[in-house]
Amino acid sequence: MTIEIHVAPDAGAAGRLAAEIIRDALRKDPGLVLGVATGGTPRCTYEELVRSAVDLSSATLFLLDEYVGLDGADPRTCRGTIRAQLTGPLGIDDERINAPDVDAVDLSAACARYEADIDDAGGIALQLLGIGRNGHIGFNEPGSSFESLTRLVQLADTTISDNSRFFGSPADVPTHAVTQGIATVLRAGHLLLLANGASKAEVLSAALTGPTTPDVPASALQLHGHVTVIADAEAAARL
């Protein structure tokens, strides 16, 4: 197990550090296959990438997850969020963002296709991750198998409650999503986990220093050979 942990003084500094790792990967490979996450945590990273006008024109992006049941044009979709925070300001064509087809009639076939798309792109070289308060990565909620692949999942109540800040009220948060599975995430070459704020301190410690268990999906990261964690001081308080 190789987990490199960086503690930054605050979320802005954490974002700048994460952006530097992404820029470095792009310098080595402009055609980088980059896995992108949404939620509040990566926002500072995307702001810094936009501020520094990073060249993503040859990169390929894969979404970590996507809500089911929203209109495709809804800005609250994960695709809409990445478009608004990252690719749009950088002038990157929407077609460079790969996402599972959550509107497909045959959703399990669409999930299998997403796995195949990742493989066809040569695999995800660098995957950005956040961590849910309940230990989820992507939308792999507690209990998710470490063997899991891209699939339809039901969101946990804590996730619906946490993400209601993006939707106005819990009743407006989709109940389901398609997420890369834990085994999908573990196939990426390099995992970059970001965690900010006191509400992540306990779960970050459980994930990185506790037993590897589906009860804490992010603990699966201990099974990967190349993980970088960037936490702000509050999130790192229990490490």
Query: Could you tell me which stretch among 39-47, 105-113, 203-211, 214-222 binds ligand GLP (CB under 6 A)?
Result: 39-47
Is 65 annotated in the active site? yes
Alpha-carbon distance 146 to 184, whole Å? 9
- The whole-angstrom separation of Cα 197 and Cα 31 is 33
The dihedrals phi and psi of 201, each to the nearest 5 degrees, come to -60, -50
| 159, 180, 184, 228: which one binds ligand GLP (CB under 6 A) | 159
Q: Is 224 a catalytic residue?
A: no
Q: How many helices (H) and strands (E) does the chain have?
A: 8, 10
Active site residue 136: yes
37 binds ligand GLP (CB under 6 A): yes
Given 35, 138, 174, 214, the residue binding ligand GLP (CB under 6 A): 138
Least distance (Å) between residue 66 CB and ligand GLP = 9
User: Which residue stretch of 34-42, 53-61, 92-100, 204-212 sits at the interface with ligand GLP (rule: CB under 6 A)?
Assistant: 34-42
Decide: residue 165, CB within 10 A, 0-12 exposed, 13-18 middle, 19+ buried: exposed
Dist. CA 177–CA 100, nearest whole Å: 10
Size, binding site for ligand GLP by CB under 6 A:
13
What angle separates helix 43-51 from helix 11-28, to the nearest 10 degrees? 60
214 touches ligand GLP by CB under 6 A: no
Applying CB under 6 A, which of residues 87, 148, 163, 219 lies at the interface with ligand GLP?
A: 163
Q: Nearest approach, Cβ of 61 to ligand GLP (angstroms)?
A: 14
One of 48, 115, 141, 232 is an active-site residue; which one?
A: 141
For residues 57 and 161, which CB has a smaller minimum distance to ligand GLP in the complex? 161
Q: Residue 65 interacts with ligand GLP (CB under 6 A)?
A: yes
Catalytic: which of 101, 117, 134, 215? 134
Task: Give the span between the Cα atoms of 144 and 105, in whole angstroms.
Answer: 24
List of E strands, 3-99? 3-8, 33-36, 60-63, 65-68, 97-98
- Catalytic positions are 65, 134, 136, 141
